[in-house]
Amino acid sequence: MEQTGSGKTFTITGGVEKYEDRGVIPRTLTYLFQKYSEVITITTHTCLQHARACQNMCMSHANVLPILAVHISNPKLGMDGTR
């Protein structure tokens, strides 16, 4: 048995008057939400980077593919389109 008045509830839940008096549960929830927010931020940033890279690659392909198509159909052409 735990002794009455030893601070078990205060340790878990904390005090209500000062932010520094938060207990284990409020501190843990704050920590988890901060980490979750960091992961979401990193994931979003990474996804945006990949989306930009794909967009740039698609734009590059849009410029290169017509040139390649011309050269495949007529391999005697130079890269500038002249014979």
Task: Give the DSSP letter string of 18-77.
Answer: -GGGB-HHHHHHHHHHHHHHHHHHHHHHHHHHHHHHHHHHHHHHHHHHHHHHHHHH-TTS
Tens digit of pLDDT for each residue in 24-74?
Answer: 999 999 999 999 988 888 888 888 888 887 777 776 666 666 665 665 666
Give the HSE-up count for residue 74: Cα atoms under 13 Å, Cβ half-sphere.
10
What was the pLDDT predicted at 57?
72
Note the pTM of the prediction, 2 decimals. 0.51
At residue 20, does pLDDT exceed 60? yes
pLDDT value of residue 28: 93
C-beta separation of 10 from 20 below 8 A: no
- Return the pLDDT at 32: 93
Interatomic CA distance for residues 71 and 11, integer angstroms: 75
pLDDT for the residue numbered 55: 75
